[in-house]
Amino acid sequence: MSATLDTPYRAIFCDLLTDRTIDILPLRDVTVDDYIGKAGSLSGTVPVPNARMAARVRRIEEGRTSVYLQRGSDLWWGGIIWTSTLQSDDQGVLTLGIQAATFESYAGRRMIRPTDGAGATLGFSDTDQLDIARALWADMQTSLTGGNILVGAGTETSGVRRTVAYQDGDETSYQEALDSLAALADGFEYHITVYTDPVSGQRARRLVLGAPRIETGSTDLVLDRPGTILSYSFPRDATRGGTTARARGASVNTDQSVESRPLVSTIAVAGELIEKAGYPRIDLTSDHNDITDQNTLDALAEAELTAATGAVVIPEISIRLDDLVPTALLGRTARIRITDEWFTEGLDARYRIVGVKVSPAQRGRADTAELYLEEAA
């Protein structure tokens, strides 16, 4: 159950590798967001009014301290502090500004390297893509000392099998490997969630996988305007969409006497839109310099066209956070009902929540959240 509006947030600072609590400190001017498939962020300011508080705040170390944002008894956000800024104003007031990113960001700072220094390849043959994703994360955490940030995993499967390999020396980050694998046609989504284990009462971090998408909750979250919805926007952007797509890979030319050219995918075409619906031909292209497999490039082109066919629409709504809004919002289906001058007959549509930006209450402003949406299946 979520906390009520008058329940303050707590910022819990912990050791990244052990999750041991270092301190619970006040955090002001907080902004926090979280997304499916990419790292979210947190920024805030810790006041330092005296030497005693300064001694406590100095225990925060960038790159090895994690922070959780807790609302009542629920963990709403967790991640790693990567940068901080100590600042003194003209009145001598000290503050420490911190910037953190969710635990997914750790994978972007780790490269796939061999354990024995012999240049071995990390490879998977005819393996379920979700097993590969888990294996990549496990390799990052356990193959070398100092890499375990205590992220557990489940047992999800997709039924889609892949053959991939990562060669030492390419310096491919684990995040790049995960993102490239997830972006293929019939791919998957990933997200690291933080929660309190109902049995042990301990904090937990878990890699959640979903193919083709992460779905949370069995019932729709109903949001109304007038009502819980404070504001909304429905941007439509044809510059980010298209009706054809082509992916370019690495050069496969071994003859140095001729010009090197990249391997290219078959052109994916939204034939229904062009030939029947009267849409113009608008071309998308993407580069994948580490891919040398034709089938992989074809799958990437198909996936990119599916994600950006026509005009790209990413609706946003702003809502009040109250007792009826659950903690686990990402992946949940929301039923949006709006009646106003534009939607005179009423909008009643289902969307999936793919991003959340929370603004904690402060200076008389209630808790609010901005939800980033995509059309539900």
Give the whole-angstrom CA distance, residue 69 versus residue 13: 9
Q: Are residues 191 and 223 in the same domain?
A: no
pLDDT confidence of residue 64: 97
Give the whole-angstrom CA distance, residue 317 versus residue 233: 6
Contact between 245 and 305 under an 8 Å Cβ cutoff? The reply is yes
Is there a domain that residue 158 lies in? yes
pLDDT confidence of residue 289: 80
Phi-psi region of 159 (alpha: psi -120 to 50; beta: other; left: phi over 0): left
Q: Are residues 228 and 256 in the same domain?
A: no
Average pLDDT over residues 340-353: 94
Is there a domain that residue 285 lies in? yes
CB atoms within 10 A of CB 352: 20
Q: Are residues 134 and 83 in the same domain?
A: no
Is there a domain that residue 1 lies in? no
Is there a domain that residue 67 lies in? yes
Give the whole-angstrom CA distance, residue 373 versus residue 357: 12
Q: Are residues 290 and 205 in the same domain?
A: no
Q: Are residues 180 and 228 in the same domain?
A: no
Q: Are residues 280 and 257 in the same domain?
A: yes
pLDDT confidence of residue 326: 79
Is there a domain that residue 2 lies in? no
Q: Are residues 231 and 329 in the same domain?
A: yes
Q: What range does the domain containing 21 cover?
A: 9-103
Q: Which of 59-63, 169-173, 318-322, 361-365 has the highest mean pLDDT?
A: 59-63
Q: Are residues 222 and 320 in the same domain?
A: yes
CA angle (369 as vertex; 309, 228 as ends), nearest 5: 95
pLDDT confidence of residue 193: 96
Average pLDDT over residues 337-359: 93
Residue 362 predicted with pLDDT over 80: no
Final residue belonging to a domain, choices 307, 342, 362: 307
Final residue belonging to a domain, choices 260, 292, 307: 307
CA 350 to centroid of chain Cα atoms: 21
Give the whole-angstrom CA distance, residue 74 versus residue 371: 19
Give the whole-angstrom CA distance, residue 31 versus residue 47: 16
Q: How many domains does the chain have?
A: 4
Is there a domain that residue 62 lies in? yes
pLDDT digit string, tens, across residues 218-234: 899 999 999 999 999 99
Per cent of the chain over pLDDT 70 is 93
Give the whole-angstrom CA distance, residue 273 versus residue 243: 7
Is there a domain that residue 153 lies in? yes
Antiparallel, parallel or unpaired: β 244-251 and 268-269: antiparallel
Please write down the long-range contacts of 194-200, taking CB distance under 8 Å and 24 or more positions apart: 194/68, 194/75, 194/77, 194/78, 194/103, 195/75, 195/327, 195/328, 196/73, 196/74, 196/75
Residue 358: CATH number of its domain: 2.30.300.10
Q: Are residues 182 and 295 in the same domain?
A: no
Is there a domain that residue 267 lies in? yes
Average pLDDT over residues 176-184: 93
pLDDT digit string, tens, across residues 262-318: 899 999 999 998 998 999 999 999 998 878 888 889 999 998 998 888 777 788 999
Q: Are residues 228 and 350 in the same domain?
A: yes
Q: Are residues 296 and 166 in the same domain?
A: no
Give the whole-angstrom CA distance, residue 281 versus residue 323: 48
Distances in whole angstroms, Cα of residue 209 to Cα of each of 36, 78, 123, 331: 10, 18, 20, 11
Average pLDDT over residues 126-150: 96
Q: Are residues 229 and 355 in the same domain?
A: yes
Final residue belonging to a domain, choices 195, 210, 225: 210
When pLDDT is cut at 50, 70 and 90, the band that residue 8 belongs to is: low
Residue 323 predicted with pLDDT over 90: no
